[in-house]
Structure 1
C-alpha cells in the first residue's frame, strides 16, 4: 500500500493490547509480559473484559473504553473478532495495528474472507495492519517488545524483517548470544496490508537503521518490491534470504529459454539488479549479520591469512579459491616488514604462518604488518590452541589492533573450551568471530559479492552504437501474425522481427517442397542447411529435423526426403508446414550461444544468456537479467557464465566481439517493451566471434497482450520513450526527453558548465564535480518513482544537456519534490519555463496531488520561476524558502 502511518509502529507513544491475558502459555499473556518487561516508557493499556488488573496495570473491558486512541494496538483475539476490533480502533483514531492472530482465510458473516473484512474495516481510517499470523514487532531503542518472541532484542542499528516467525525467534536468540543489536525486528506474517516493499521503503529512510536484513518466502507486486529494494539498497546495505530455491514446478516450455529461466534464477537476477546481497542459508544469514553489524567493507576482497598452523591456512585458502576469492599477493615491502618479527623459517608467503610456538607478541607484529599493507583488503586471523600461550592472552594483546583496524579482520578461534574465553573477548568487543576458516571465508565473500552488486549500480553505461530499432515494422509483423492466429512463430518470421532490431541472421527462405527448396538453394548458394518447419515440434534436432552442409542439389533432395519420412515416423501427429533453406555460416572460431526472452509470472520479462547448441539444457550454463538492459548490465550477465571465458579468447581463437553480444541482449529487452504480445523467444544458436554475431535459428511465441498498459508486466519500468518530443525555444528546436543512464558523461559536462553560484543554489554546496555515486543517482533513475526531463541539442560529437528538471515522488504517490537547473550561460531564454511546464504536466498525469521544493532565500531567480508557474513561496527560518504547487485539492479539483 504505502508508508503512511508506519512511523507509529516504530515509535508509538502508547500501546493497547487487545486480548491481554494471565493464562499461562497464551499469546496474550506472553505479549503483555514482553510489553511490561521491555522498558517501554509510554502507557500500556491491556484490553479484556475478564480482568480488572494484570501485571499491575488497569485492564479495560473494551476498546471503546480506552482513555485515548492508542498510537499502536496489538490484537491477539480469535480471527472472527478482529474485523470488528479493527473498525473500533479506526473510529477511536488508532492508525497502526499488529494482528498476531491466524485463520483469516475463513469466511466472515458477510461471505467475504475474514482477511478482506479486516482490510475493509481498516480502509476508511487509513489504519495500517502488520500481519496477521505474525510473531509481532520489537523496537529495542524505545523499549518496545510487542511480540511473543522468547527473548528480547538488544538495541543496535540493524533492522530485521521476516516472513517467517520461526526465523524471527531463531535470529533473535542467535544475535543476543553474540551481543548483536537491532533497531527493529519485524515479523511480517501474511503481509496482508503492510508488505515487504512498505517496510523496505520505511527502513531505507530510518536514521536509526544502518543495514537491513530480510527473510522472504514470496514476493508480490514485483514492481513495487523492486523500486523499494533498489531504493533501500542504494541507501544502506540490504541482505536477503529468499527461501524456496527449488523449481516451483516442471513445465513443458515452448522454448529453451522458458525451460531454463527457472524461478530461482529470476529471483537471483532481480535481487542482484536491486543491489541487494542474497544469501541462501540460515548460516549464511548469520554470517551476514555478524559482518554487517560491524560495518566492514572489504574493497576488492584480497585476503591475507594469518595463522599459527599450516593446515588451517591451507583449509582457508582452499575455501577462498573454491569461492572464487582472491588470495592477496604480498609485496616485497610487506614481506620485509613481516621478516623483522617472524622466525627465519616462516614460509614468506600468504598464508602467513607464524609457526605453532608463536607468542602473543609475534601475532601482534604480523597483524600490524598486514593491516598496514596495501596488498591486502582484509585479514583472516586463525588461531589453533597450543600449550605455549593461552588463546585468551593472544586475544587480549590483539584487541586494541582489532578494534582500531581500518580493514576487516575476521577472527577464527579453532577449538572448544580452550579458545572459549578468546572468542568471548572478541564478541564482547563487537568483533566478527567464526568457528571455522570456511565460515569466515564465506562471510568475506558475501561482502565481496555485495560490493560487486553495489558497484554495478554505480557503473555508467556507454552510449553504445545501437541505431533506433524499426518498431513500426516489428509491430506490423506481430499484428500480421496475430491476425493469422500464428502464435508459434517459426524461424523465417522470427528473423524478420529480429531484423527490425538490427540482429543479423543468415539468409533464410521458407519452402513447401523439393522444387521450391532447390530454387531457394540456387538463389542462396550452396552449401545450405535444411530445417523442418512445424509449429508442433519445439526442438527440431530431436526428430532429425536439421541437415547441415548440403553441398549440391542431390544432397538437398535426399536430405529433404529422409527428414520428411523421419518426422512422419516419430511425430505423425505434428503439422508439417514445409521447410526452411538457409545459407551455411562458415565461421570456424565462432562459439554457439543462446539468448532468449521469457516472462516470469512474478517479475515479468527476463532475458537469458548462455552457452547454446543442441545440449543447452545439459550444459546448464546460463544467466538471466531483468530488462531494461544496457551494456553494463549485459556484460554482467555474460560474466556470470562459464562460456564468458571462451568469449575472451583462447589459444589461436581471438576474443569475440563482446559489445555485439551485449547489444543483442539489450535489443531483446527493447523487444519485450515494444512488443507486449511477445512471450518467449529463442535465438539458438547465436554465433559469436571476432567478426560479431549471427543468428542461425530463432523461434518466438506470441499471445494476446493483457490490458492497455504494454509495460504493466515489467518489474523495472523501461525508458519511457513516449515522453520524448521536440520543442521550440529561443535557441531553436530542442529535444525534451527523460534522462537515461547513457547521459552520464553529458550530465557531468553540464554540471561543470554551471557557475559556482548555480552549483550552490542547486546543491547547497560548492562541489565542482559530481562523484560517481551522484552521477549514477542522477542518471540511473527509477521511472516508476521519479522523473528527470532534460533539454538537449546536437553537437559535433553527440548531444549536450542544456537544462534538467527532476521530481522524486513519495511511495504513496501523493507529493513529489522537484529541483531544476539550467546551464548558467543559457539562463533567461525560457528554458526553465519549458522544463517546469513539462514537469507539472507529468505530475498531473501521474496523479500527484502536489509538488514541493526548497530553494535558498537568495535564489531569487528560482523563486520568480516558481511563482510564474503557480507555486506558493514561503520563507523558512533556516535561510530557505518552501515552494509548493497544489495540483489536486481535498475536494478532488
Structure 2
C-alpha cells in the first residue's frame, strides 16, 4: 500500500491510547507517561472503560466516546480485541494505528483464522495503516511524540532509525542517548503486517527533516517494493543498513554449484549494494558511518595517504588498509621533494608519511598542506600519538582550519585518553570526524569508499553491449516445456547447452549417444580428441562417480572408457537412471581460465547471478560474487571485479588478459535468460573457459520447475520491458517507440542540447544551459516499476539511435496518479510526434491500472494544451497563475 495515510502516523495531530492503564510498569501506563513527558502538543486521549482518568488525563470508555477522531491510535490490548478495535477506529475515521500487542499471528479465532489477518481485513476498507503488531512503538522527537513503551526519550536530531527488532530498539536508544545522538524518527517495525521497510523508505526518502536513514533488518517481505523504495531514497540521502543473520548456518545441498554457493547473506549484500545503500556490521559501525558520511566530501578515488608522528600507529593503519584490500596512495616525486624540504632527513620518505615523534605543530601544517595538493592522493588519515614535547591541543588548533578548508577528505585519529581529550573536542566543535584507533579511522575511510562506489553504481551510465544479440526465446522455451513433461527437474547437459546457444553463449559441440558403440560413432563424426561424459538425470556432478574422461584419441578408447563408466556407475550408483553419454569436441585452450557463471533463485529476491572461479574445487575455493539481475555491461564488469580471479583475468607475466567483455556479455545473457524463462530455477556453467580469444562453455546444468509467475515479475528489479517496443509510422518513415535505457544518456544529452530555449522553458519551467551527469542519470536510469519514459528514435545515417522526442510519467507509490511530461525535437513540433508519444503513454498507464494522468503546463504553452485537449484531457487552473494542470481519467468511474 506504500505511503497512503502515513502522514497520520508520522505527523499526528492527536492520539488515542487504547488500553491505557493506571497499573505501574504496564505497557498502557508507560505509553501514556511517555506521551505526556515527551511534550506532544496535540490531544492525548486514553481509552479504557475501567478508569475515569489515566496519568491525570480524562479517560474514555470506548472509541465512540472520544471527543474527536484521533489521527493516530496506539493499541496495547489483548490479541483477541485488536481486530475489533481496528474496525471501530476505521469506522470512526482514524487513518493510522500502532499495534504494540504481540501474538496475533499465533492466535486464531473460533473459525481458525489468525488474528493478524483479521486485523488487516478490518483495516483494509478504511485504508487504515498499521505499524506493528508486536512492536515497541514510535518516537517523533521533533514533535515531542513518544508513542512507545521504551524506557527513555529519544533526543531530537536528523537521523531516522528503523528497526525490526524490539529489543534492539531500546538498546540502541539507550546507547545513542549516551553518545548524544538525536533522531528525527525512531521507528519499531515489529511484525510489519502492513507497513514495511518499503513504505517507511518511501516516506522518509522525501521527508525534509531526515538527513540520513538507518535500518536494522532481519528479513524483507516484498523485495521489488523494497528495492524500488531503497533506490529512490538512496538517491536523496545516505541509507545505511545492519542486516542480521550473516552466518551461513544450515547451508542446503543444491543441484548446481551456484545453488550451494549463493548464500542468503550474500544476496542481501548484493541488494543493498545495488540500491546504493551502505551495509555495516554492527550498530556502533552504523552510527559511526553515518557521522562520517554526513560530514564527508564527495570522494573522487580510493587512494589513502597516512600522515603520522609514530611509526607503529602508521603500520597499524597500513595493515588495516591492506587486510581490507584498500589502496595506499603512491606519493608523487614532486610531493616527496616538497616534503624533503620541510621534514627531518629521517622521515619515512613514503606512505605512511612518518614526520617523527618530536613534530611541532608547524611541521604538521606544512606536511598536511603538501599532501592535500598531491594529485595521487584522494584522502588523508592523520594519526597523532601524544608526546611530552608538544601538547596535542596545540597541534589540533594549528591544523583544524587547514582540515576544514581542504578540498578532499581528511580523517583524524587522536590516540590516547586524557592527553588528547582537548584535541578531540576542538575537532568535534569544528564538526570534523575523529576516531580513537587507526583501525576505526581506516574503517571509516573504507565505509566512505564503499558508499561512494555504491552511489556511483546507482548513478553510472553503462556502456552499450559491444555486441547486440537477439536470443531465440522460442527455442529455449520449447526445450524447457518439453523437459517439464518428464518427471525430472534437472535438464540434461545437451538440453542446457542448447538453451545457452539459443542465448548466444558459445558452447562446445556436443552429441548424445545411447550406448558405448554409439559413442564411438559420434566421436568419429566429431573428430578426435573428444571428451566422454555420463548422461544421467540422477547425477548432478559427473566427476563424483568418475563419469568424465578427457582427451580420448581413438574410437576404441571411446568405447572402452564408456564401458568402464558403466561399470563404475553400477558399482557406485546402481539406482541411477542412465540415459547414455555425451561426446564432445576437446576444447584445447591452453592457459584459459576456468570460470563459473550461474544463477539461482533466492526465496526473497528471486533470481540471483553468480560469478567466480570455476573447476571441480569450486566449493572449496569459494571465490564468488553475486548480483541481482538485470545486468548491463557496467554492472557485469563490477560483478567480475569483486572476485579474486579478476586479478588473474587482467593478465600477468606472459599470460595475456582474458576477454572480459565476452565474460560480461555471458553474464548479461544469463541474466536475460532468467528474466525470460521463469521455469529455470537455477543453472551453472562450469567451467566457462575464458582467455584472450573469448569464452567457451564446456559444461552446463539447469534446474527447472513449473513457473509461479512470469520471468520479469520474479525479479526484484523490473528489467527493461522489451515488450513495450513498437515501430510506428511518422511522416512517412518508421520510428521506434521504446522505453528509455541507461545507455541512452549520451544521445539524451545531445537531444536536450539541440532544443530551442523556449522548448526547454516549456518543459522544465526554467532556462537550463548545463546538463550534469547526475541530472541526466535520473532521467535515463529509471525504475520501470514506478516510472516510464518512452523515446521516439530513428536512425540518422550511422548515428543510431537519434532521439526525436520523449514522453515521461512518474507514478505515485500507490499507482493512483501518474504525472507526465513530454517534449519533442524543436524541428518536429506540430507534426504529430507528440500525439504518438502521449497516446502510447496513456495506453501504458491504463494497462498498469493507474487511475489518473496529470501534467502541468505553462499557460502560454499553446501547443501542449492543444495536444492535451485533443487526447481528452481536462484543463484545470492551479494556484500559480502562470501554470495550468491537465487531467485525464484513465479508468472507468464506478457507478
User: Normalising TM by the smaller chain, what interval?
Assistant: over 0.9
Paired residues for 1:437-456 under 5 Å: 437-456=438-457
CA distance in 2, matches of 1:489, 1:562: 24
- 1:38, distance to aligned residue in structure 2 (A): 2.1
Q: Is the 8 A contact 2:212 2:290 kept in 1?
A: no
Secondary structure at 2:713 match in 1: coil
Q: Is the 8 A contact 1:298 1:444 kept in 2?
A: no
- 1:612, distance to aligned residue in structure 2 (A): 0.8
Deviations along 1:687-727, one digit per CA (max 9) or x if unpaired, are: 111111111111222222224x3432111112222222221
CA distance in 1, matches of 2:38, 2:530: 79
Sort the Cα spacing of 1:330 and 1:143 in 2 relative to 1 into closer, same or farther, 3 A: farther
CA distance in 1, matches of 2:50, 2:424: 50
Paired residues for 1:455-604 under 5 Å: 455-464=456-465, 465-604=467-606
Gaps of 5+ in 1: none
**Does 678-687 or 84-93 show the bigger shift?**
84-93
Q: Is the 8 A contact 2:396 2:423 kept in 1?
A: yes
Deviations along 1:800-835, one digit per CA (max 9) or x if unpaired, are: 221111111111111111111111111211111111
- 1:161, distance to aligned residue in structure 2 (A): 0.9
Sort the Cα spacing of 1:539 and 1:623 in 2 relative to 1 into closer, same or farther, 3 A: same
Q: Is the 8 A contact 1:857 1:875 kept in 2?
A: no
CA distance in 2, matches of 1:375, 1:498: 44
CA distance in 2, matches of 1:57, 1:369: 66
**Does 811-820 or 773-782 show the bigger shift?**
773-782
Q: Is the 8 A contact 1:410 1:440 kept in 2?
A: yes
> Which residue among 683, 702, 709 is the counterpart of 1:700?
702
> Which residue among 852, 875, 887 is the counterpart of 2:890?
887
Could you tell me which residue of structure 2 aligns to residue 823 of structure 1? 825
Deviations along 1:758-783, one digit per CA (max 9) or x if unpaired, are: 12222233334532222322222211
CA distance in 1, matches of 2:27, 2:776: 51
Sort the Cα spacing of 1:393 and 1:107 in 2 relative to 1 into closer, same or farther, 3 A: farther
- 1:598, distance to aligned residue in structure 2 (A): 1.5
Q: Is the 8 A contact 1:297 1:447 kept in 2?
A: no
Q: Is the 8 A contact 1:805 1:821 kept in 2?
A: yes
Could you tell me which residue of structure 1 aligns to residue 875 of structure 2? 873
CA distance in 2, matches of 1:23, 1:293: 43
CA distance in 2, matches of 1:361, 1:67: 70
Secondary structure at 1:446 match in 2: helix
Sort the Cα spacing of 1:526 and 1:341 in 2 relative to 1 into closer, same or farther, 3 A: closer
Could you tell me which residue of structure 1 aligns to residue 318 of structure 2? 317
Output the aligned Cα RMSD: 2.2
Secondary structure at 2:295 match in 1: coil
CA distance in 1, matches of 2:338, 2:860: 57
Paired residues for 1:112-127 under 5 Å: 112-127=113-128
Q: Is the 8 A contact 2:489 2:705 kept in 1?
A: yes
CA distance in 2, matches of 1:852, 1:216: 36
Q: Is the 8 A contact 2:530 2:583 kept in 1?
A: yes
Could you tell me which residue of structure 2 aligns to residue 70 of structure 1? 70
**Does 636-645 or 119-128 show the bigger shift?**
119-128
Gaps of 5+ in 2: none
Paired residues for 1:233-312 under 5 Å: 233-247=234-248, 249-312=250-313
Sort the Cα spacing of 1:372 and 1:582 in 2 relative to 1 into closer, same or farther, 3 A: closer
Secondary structure at 1:728 match in 2: strand
Secondary structure at 2:673 match in 1: helix
Sort the Cα spacing of 1:580 and 1:244 in 2 relative to 1 into closer, same or farther, 3 A: same
Could you tell me which residue of structure 2 aligns to residue 8 of structure 1? 8
Secondary structure at 1:355 match in 2: coil
Sort the Cα spacing of 1:169 and 1:763 in 2 relative to 1 into closer, same or farther, 3 A: same
Deviations along 1:229-251, one digit per CA (max 9) or x if unpaired, are: 11111222211111112235322
- 1:84, distance to aligned residue in structure 2 (A): 2.5
CA distance in 1, matches of 2:792, 2:291: 48
- 1:448, distance to aligned residue in structure 2 (A): 0.5
CA distance in 1, matches of 2:35, 2:399: 41
**Does 392-401 or 255-264 show the bigger shift?**
392-401
TM-score, L = length of structure 1? 0.96
**Does 557-566 or 32-41 show the bigger shift?**
32-41
Q: Is the 8 A contact 2:520 2:556 kept in 1?
A: no
> Which residue among 806, 809, 812 is the counterpart of 1:810?
812
CA distance in 2, matches of 1:620, 1:237: 31
Q: Is the 8 A contact 1:754 1:824 kept in 2?
A: yes
CA distance in 1, matches of 2:768, 2:833: 24
Secondary structure at 1:574 match in 2: coil
- 1:193, distance to aligned residue in structure 2 (A): 0.8
Could you tell me which residue of structure 2 aligns to residue 230 of structure 1? 231
- 1:403, distance to aligned residue in structure 2 (A): 4.8
Q: Is the 8 A contact 1:178 1:427 kept in 2?
A: no
Q: Is the 8 A contact 1:511 1:579 kept in 2?
A: yes
Sort the Cα spacing of 1:426 and 1:32 in 2 relative to 1 into closer, same or farther, 3 A: farther
- 1:213, distance to aligned residue in structure 2 (A): 1.1
Sort the Cα spacing of 1:11 and 1:316 in 2 relative to 1 into closer, same or farther, 3 A: same
CA distance in 2, matches of 1:54, 1:373: 67
Sort the Cα spacing of 1:681 and 1:387 in 2 relative to 1 into closer, same or farther, 3 A: same
CA distance in 2, matches of 1:173, 1:374: 44
- 1:457, distance to aligned residue in structure 2 (A): 1.9
Q: Is the 8 A contact 2:29 2:55 kept in 1?
A: no
> Which residue among 661, 675, 680 is the counterpart of 1:678?
680
CA distance in 2, matches of 1:392, 1:136: 44
Secondary structure at 1:488 match in 2: coil
**Does 421-430 or 736-745 show the bigger shift?**
421-430
**Does 676-685 or 809-818 show the bigger shift?**
676-685
Q: Is the 8 A contact 1:595 1:683 kept in 2?
A: yes
Q: Is the 8 A contact 2:428 2:434 kept in 1?
A: yes
TM-score, L = length of structure 2? 0.95
Secondary structure at 1:749 match in 2: helix
Could you tell me which residue of structure 2 aligns to residue 608 of structure 1? 610
Could you tell me which residue of structure 1 aligns to residue 629 of structure 2? 627
Could you tell me which residue of structure 2 aligns to residue 793 of structure 1? 794
- 1:365, distance to aligned residue in structure 2 (A): 4.4
Q: Is the 8 A contact 2:674 2:711 kept in 1?
A: no
Deviations along 1:253-286, one digit per CA (max 9) or x if unpaired, are: 1111111112112112111111111112233223
Secondary structure at 1:168 match in 2: helix
